[in-house]
Amino acid sequence: GFDVAFLNQEMKLLGRDVGVITDHCRIVDSLEIARNKHPGQKNNLDALCKRYNVDNSQRDLHGALLDAEILADVYLLMTGGQVTLSLGDDQSEAGSSGGAIRRLPASRPRLKVIRATEEEVAAHRARLDALDVAAENGCVWKQLEIGL
């Protein structure tokens, strides 16, 4: 749909041969899922919010970020099982049992490592020092700091 075409256009504008979005990830079409679950019914975002009791009262006009947040809630309810979307390390809280490990081909191009310059490291440390003074319990990043 529109979103995939938009992403493909943005990738094209990078000016590098990165291909299309489906070269990098699998696309899940929430509208197709909704049409399969609710054939013959309205399946736009407003109708899905009403059907799944998702609050969309802040949605006066189309806004991509708000729509994406609302759609995430609808998607979780529509697909069942998982009831929250957690991007943290603790997968058990999200109701996830983990996923399959996908091995990358050995022939892929090596990733370019870009290290921070001395000036960037100094600016980073200065910022951590300022946070350390301002934070009641100190700066957690400074406490966890591993050699930069």
Domains in the chain (CATH in brackets) are 2-86 (3.30.420.10), 112-148 (no CATH)
Q: Does the pLDDT at position 47 exceed 80?
A: yes
Q: For residue 147, is pLDDT > 80?
A: no
Query: 81: which residues sit within 8 A by CB, 6+ positions away?
Result: 95
8-45: pLDDT as tens digits? 999 899 888 889 999 888 899 999 999 999 999 999 99
**Which positions are catalytic?**
62
- Say what the pTM is: 0.50
What is the per-residue pLDDT across 60-118, written as a single tens digit (0 to 9) for each? 766 788 898 999 999 999 988 555 556 655 544 444 445 567 777 888 888 888 999 99
Structure confidence at residue 81 (pLDDT): 56
Q: What is the pLDDT of residue 89?
A: 54
User: Residue 110 and residue 1: Cα distance in Å, rounded?
Assistant: 32
Q: Annotate 90-125 with b (16+ C-beta within 10 A) or e (fewer).
A: eeeeeeeeeeeeeeeeeeeeeeeeeeeeeeeeeeee
